[in-house]
Amino acid sequence: MGNAAAKLRGFAAACHFAPTLSVTFMVSLLAWRSGWSGWHLCLLVVAVFTGQLSVGWSNDAIDAPIDIAAGRTAKPIVAGVLSVRGLWVAAVAALITTVVASFMAAGVPGGAIQVIAVASAWLYNLRLSRTTWSWLPYAVSFACVTPFITLGLAPPMAPALWAIAVFVSTGVAAHLANALPDLATDQERGLGGLVTRLGEVRAKRLALALLVLSAFILLTQVAQINPVAAYLIPVATGVVLVLALRPTRRSVFFQAVQGLAIFEVVVILVTGIPITS
């Protein structure tokens, strides 16, 4: 029983559980707000959740040699809790599940968009994570959030361009913030990635600029509908800016970006702004 519990905790850690739940929660809420319900909504939750699991598990499986060499004992593979083969089996099983669930939930157009989002994230894991193009899969995957939801409606509807821009800006900022804690190790080992090329200061500045852009776009949509929410958007963004500029742990910045993303989704939900065009 103890070994099974340890493996379960290992799989949870390997999939990067907090971001996985965060993305699943946000997309599911947006879908519900846009008119999804019943089994279609349940299938959407399954599609998004298993897609995130497949991405997280494949990421840890691919990075296993690097994590072992760097002595990252927080990683389940390094700690000896999980095997690389076990992670690959889980990742492929989750990938198959998300493909099937995506098409069942959203039909051909919406399902294809979700599959593109997951495929883009896998491309990051397999090839682009150590290159200057490491930001691109994040931009593509987050750009797919809104059309996955709107094209999966009956009848399908076109996505709002402002919503796509908000998610792309926040998604790329999240990538930059997430890469910062591993910056020193990556630099020592000569690994690529946009953050490694930019350095900490410029990477953080770019992330903050993208967050401000995201907040401004959302603010332009909210201002005439809900003045209270319009005031809260710059306040929430300001909190993230303060956390980014203070000499705190780099992981705090990433957590703050996640919090801001959830806040932006809540604003969309509360104000009732349609994410369809």
pLDDT in tens, the chain (277 residues): 457 788 889 999 999 888 899 899 999 999 999 999 999 999 999 999 999 999 999 999 998 888 888 778 888 898 888 999 999 999 999 999 999 999 999 999 999 999 999 999 999 999 998 899 999 999 999 999 999 999 999 999 999 999 999 999 999 999 998 888 777 777 777 677 888 888 888 988 899 999 999 999 999 999 989 989 899 999 999 988 887 777 666 578 888 888 888 899 999 999 999 999 8
Q: Given this model, what pLDDT does residue 59 score?
A: 93
- ∠ CA 167-256-194, nearest 5°, is 65
pTM: 0.91
DSSP 275: S
- Residue 245 makes CB contacts below 8 A (sequence gap 6+) with none
CATH superfamily of 1-132: UbiA prenyltransferase (1.10.357.140)
Q: Given this model, what pLDDT does residue 107 score?
A: 95
What residues pair up with 276 in beta bridges, in sequence order? 159
Phi, psi of 11 (to 5 degrees): -65, -35
Long-range contacts of 76-81 (CB under 8 A, 24+ apart): 76/9, 76/10, 76/11, 76/13, 76/14, 77/14, 79/10, 81/6, 81/7, 81/9, 81/10
- Residue 54 makes CB contacts below 8 A (sequence gap 6+) with 91, 92, 94, 95, 97, 98, 118, 122
Number of helices followed by number of strands (H, E) in the chain: 13, 0
Q: How far apart are CA 249 and CA 183, in angstroms?
A: 12
- Extents of the domains making up the chain: 1-132, 160-277
Q: Given this model, what pLDDT does residue 170 score?
A: 94
Q: Given this model, what pLDDT does residue 252 score?
A: 81
Q: Given this model, what pLDDT does residue 113 score?
A: 97
Q: Is the CATH number 3.50.50.60 carried by domain 160-277?
A: no
Q: How far apart are CA 255 and CA 77, in angstroms?
A: 24
